[in-house]
Amino acid sequence: MRRFKCLIALVFAALVVVACSTSPTGRTQIIWKSDAEMEAQAAQAFNAMRASAPLSTNRAKIDFVACVAQAVVEILDPPYSEYEWELAVFDEKSVNAWAMPGGKIGVNTGILEITENQHQLASVMGHEIAHVTARHSNEKASRASLTGIGIEALAVILGGGYSGGAYTASQAMHAGAAFGLSLPHSRSQETEADIIGLKYMAKAGFDPRASVDLWQNMAALSKKSPPEFLSTHPTNDTRIENLISEWQETLPIYNKAREDGKDPQCEKNW
């Protein structure tokens, strides 16, 4: 049994050493997929969405989203400040927004129903853009590939093949990967995007305290949520607590931005 444990450790060590980097908050990331590869895939997916999903024709909504997004993008550091950011506003009722590698931003009009002002929408924009600057899509894709390879290798080691006992071992490893590796990692990405996004919105002149109002609106919308340990996102209460804990750092950033003349005027006038 000890020999098998050593073999398992060696397999994981060989896989994990593929590539390591550090996220903007100092968290260690395993990334081996190239940014160019991820950006090409994102561009293809983004273009497919724009071609198939209904785009909003409401000029007031489009201008509002574009105003907030532009204000946040303008404060980014290179190389992200050098991207040609693209925005699409989809006429969809679902409450959703996202950003993709290479500078692609998608917003469903449904999210505008719960964002009461520019500050709350900036909380969404900052969070989604932070996923890009923290290379979360790249990290997630790399992690998924790495996990899949690790499961196959361990199944062979534990069972000697892909049938009988090896199949059971593979199933067990899939369950372990889902609950012990993938989900906690996704929650850490979400929390990290919250932290980075708060700084982005504050630096752009949006009040970071509005992020709490936004998530209170989210909580009211989703009265039933899965337990946190089975969710890829922090619970609303946990998220709000984390956001408030960041105010000590982000409020001075916001005040400094306002002193420097950062005063976005993005009006929700429909």
Catalytic residue among 39, 128, 139, 190: 128
CA nearest 229: which of 174, 178, 170?
178
Place of tokens 């005027």: 265
Kindly list the domain boundaries of the chain, sorted by start residue: 33-259
Q: What is the mean pLDDT of the chain?
A: 80
Q: Is 64 exposed, middle or buried (0-12, 13-18, 19+ CB in 10 A)?
A: buried
**189 pLDDT tier (thresholds 50, 70, 90):** confident
For residues 186-207, average pLDDT: 93
Q: Tens digit of pLDDT for each residue in 253-264? A: 999 999 999 999
Packing angle, helices 136-159 and 2-16, rounded to 10: 150
Span 20-43, pLDDT tens digits = 788 888 888 888 778 898 899 899
pLDDT of 101 > 70? The answer is: yes
Helix (H, G, I), strand (E, B) or coil at 145: helix
128 is catalytic: yes
Residue with tokens 């002149």: 205
Q: Give percent above pLDDT 70 in the chain.
A: 72
Which of the 8 DSSP states describes residue 55?
A: B
φ, ψ of residue 17 in degrees (nearest 5): -75, 5
Rounded to whole angstroms, the Cα distance separating 12 from 119 reads 44
Contact between 91 and 107 under an 8 Å Cβ cutoff? The reply is: no
Phi, psi at residue 89, to the nearest 5°? -105, 115
Confidence band for 18, pLDDT divided at 50, 70 and 90:
low
C-alpha of 88 from chain center:
18
